[in-house]
Structure 1
Amino acid sequence: MKSTVLVTGGAGFMGAHLAEELIKLGYKTVVLDDLSGGFEENVPNKAVFVKGSILNFKLIRELFKKYKFDYVFHLGAYAAEGLSHFIRIFNYRNNLLGSINLINESIRYNVKCFVFTSSIAVYGTNQLPMKEETTPQPEDPYGISKYAVELDLKSAYEMFGLNYIIFRPHNVYGEKQNLGDKYRNVVGIFMNQIMQNKPLTIFGEGKQTRAFSYIGDVAPIIAKSIKIKKAYNQVFNIGADKPYTVNYLAETVKKAMSSNQKTKHLPARNEVVHAYSSHNKVKKVLGYKTKFSLEEGVQRMADWAKKIGSKKSKKFKNIELTKNLPPSWVEK
């Protein structure tokens, strides 16, 4: 009999790729997504799709009762570190309280393992390379909410025996990203700007560094993790090893898109300047190995982006604080 898994956020970028990998591995896969940032066409055909929110406690309980999930993969979140300062209530409600709804039902229905995608945002700044044993010091509400869920999972394991696996991915990009989201996912933002014949906008001097990680390297490892008992109740960084500046990324995207578009530097925003992590643990326990270089991954995404075309950016409607909000985010 097939094991049944729940993938929250499965119509979004990472969730859709993960659902595909789980189906390949033979799992009956149920996708839950409210389509606030994802698209129904991203959901694999062989998955059961349920439109709904992780904040809908009644729906969550009904789904657990109906499907009796063996495993839960929780990716449903609004992942925007910079914007999270200005959407604090929205951030904590969606990223923290929604997670607790899922954890409660996972305990109630004896889920075998709860897999949570956290973020390297939990580390904060000046902790390089970021290692799992480093004490997190998140600096933005997004990172704070992610770390709070991590702590709750540890507590749930100690009190109720709910096994968990926590992944801290970083700067993941690839096909199926929401190109119209101007607040997050810089690779998609650059590609969308090029297709709209607009300059590529970079906050500050562009010397900030990130280890941009291709989804094709990340999703398969997360999917197979539940088969490896040594991974249970552990935390893993996952992503590319080599960091690049945002300036270099911009040039890489322009080359992949066959563009000579100019770049435009905006005033610097409050963000972690350098972020990259150690992956020794995930390599040892889960056999993680990157297959795609930055250039290869960006080219794959660019080929996909050119096929679907540009997307109109929508203004985020739930801005709670406008003080110190970057001007480019205020514009309609």
Structure 2
Amino acid sequence: MKITSLVTGGAGFIGSHVVNHLLKQNHQVVVLDDLSGGDKENINSAALFYEGSILDVTLIHTLFDEYKFTYVYHLAAYAAEGLSHFIRNFNYQNNLIGSVNLINASVTHEVKCFVFTSSIAVYGTNTLPLVETQFPQPEDPYGIAKYAVELDLINAHKMFGMDYIIFRPHNVYGRHQNIGDKYRNVVGIFMNQILENKPLTIFGDGRQTRAFTHIDDIAPYIANSVTVPEAYNTVFNIGSDTVYSVEELAKAVSNAMQSELHIERLEKREEVTHAYANHSKFDTVFNPKKHIDLETGLLEMAKWVKTHGSRSSKEFQNIEITKKLPSSWRKPLKQ
């Protein structure tokens, strides 16, 4: 039986890696991506590519009608957590309404399993390490949207019997990451700043802590999850266990890029100060191989980044609220 999988966001960072792993498993893969954050060069030539939005309901149902998808891997999102406070409508349209469009189509077309990449942003400030049994308390619109999609999937399973798997990754880095986006992906931001001979910008004192996860520690498991019966209708934290402060990360990135450390401190922004997760549940079900340590992962990404060069960050054009918007995110005045 031919297995056909839809990967939304398949031209993006995590999505493109998931596509590669699905192709290795002999899936026919259809990629749907609007290229707002992804790049055509990331897409494996063996996949079928459609440029379009998950807000385009007609396109979605056309694809479902034509390909009769066995599985849906939903990775399309605008994942600028800090910026989401100031682009609330855009955030909910792209990260919630678009997801619901896909869930509706998946129920109607009897998809066997809907795999969703959520985020540990759903937890907000919570007891550390974050664990799946905790009650989510998202503190920004991005996390709220992700949690709403999780709840909708649970409801769709209860109402219509559609199976799902939810992953909550965090702070993922590696090859194919869009380093030209000043609003998200701190490792990419730092490496791009070094390529442009700029200081590394840190919001506040740099004591915020995160666990940074190499792409190869999550993408294969997301792709393979539909073959793991114990994973169905379950939520998993997925990622690294080793915690670093943002300032420690800046030093590690500078070392990987063979650059002297220069830091520029910016005003503190509204964000969860400490966020890292427990992965015991994931480890029990998936029995992953040993994680790639930060030094090794950064060296690999640095090699890729140097080969591809720096990228200019585009200003987000439709800021909806300017009150409390960090000054570094404000559009520069025209000369």
Please give the range of the TM-score, normalised by the shorter of the 2 chains.
over 0.9
Question: Partner of 2:86: helix, strand, or coil?
Answer: coil
- Cross-structure match for 2:160: 160
Whole-angstrom CA distance in 2 between matches of 1:24 and 1:95: 28
Alpha-carbon displacement from aligned partner over 1:245-267 (angstroms, at most 9, x marks no partner): 00110011101111014111111
Match of 2:251 in 1: 251
Contact 1:180–1:312, Cα closer than 8 Å, also in 2: yes
Q: Assess if the C-alpha contact under 8 Å between 2:225 and 2:231 holds in 1.
A: yes
Q: Which runs of 5+ in 2 are unaligned?
A: none
Matches of 1:59 and 1:97, distance apart in 2: 15
Match of 1:213 in 2: 213
TM-score relative to the length of structure 1: 0.99
In structure 2, C-alpha distance between the alignment counterparts of 1:158 and 1:149, rounded to whole Å: 14
**Which residue matches 2:38?**
38
Listed as ranges, the matches of 1:267-306 within 5 Å are 267-306=267-306
Q: Which runs of 5+ in 1 are unaligned?
A: none
Distance in 2, matches of 1:116 and 1:326, equals 31
Partner of 2:312: 312
Range moving further from structure 2, 289-298 or 269-278: 289-298
The normalised TM-score by structure 2 is 0.98
Aligned counterparts of 1:126 and 1:100: Cα–Cα separation in 2: 27
Say if 2:4 and 2:30, in contact at 8 Å, map to a contact too: yes
Please state if 1:49 is matched with 2:52: no
Runs of 4+ in structure 1 over 6 Å off: none
State the match for 1:149 in structure 2.
149
CA distance in 1, matches of 2:133, 2:294: 27
Q: Contact (CA 8 Å) 1:207, 1:247: kept in 2 or not?
A: yes
Distance between the aligned counterparts of 1:197 and 1:16, measured in 2? 29
Question: Deviations 1:94-124 (Å, cap 9, x if unpaired)?
Answer: 0000000000010011100000000000000
Q: Report the Cα distance in structure 2 between the residues aligned to 1:99 and 1:314, rounded to whole angstroms.
A: 25
Amino acid at match of 1:201: T
**Other structure's SS at 1:85 match:** helix
Q: Is the Cα–Cα contact under 8 Å of residues 251 and 261 in structure 2 kept in the other structure? A: no
Q: Secondary structure at the match of 1:92?
A: helix
- Map of 1:263 onto structure 2: 263
* 2:183 paired with 1:200: no
What's 2:132 paired with? 132
Over the aligned positions, Cα root-mean-square deviation in angstroms equals 0.8
Q: Secondary structure at the match of 1:37?
A: coil
Range with bigger deviation, 235-244 or 121-130: 121-130
> Which residue identity is paired with 1:103?
I
Query: What SS is found at the alignment partner of 2:218?
Result: helix
Contact residue 198 and residue 261 of structure 1 kept, 8 A: no
What amino acid does structure 2 have at the position aligned with 1:181?
D
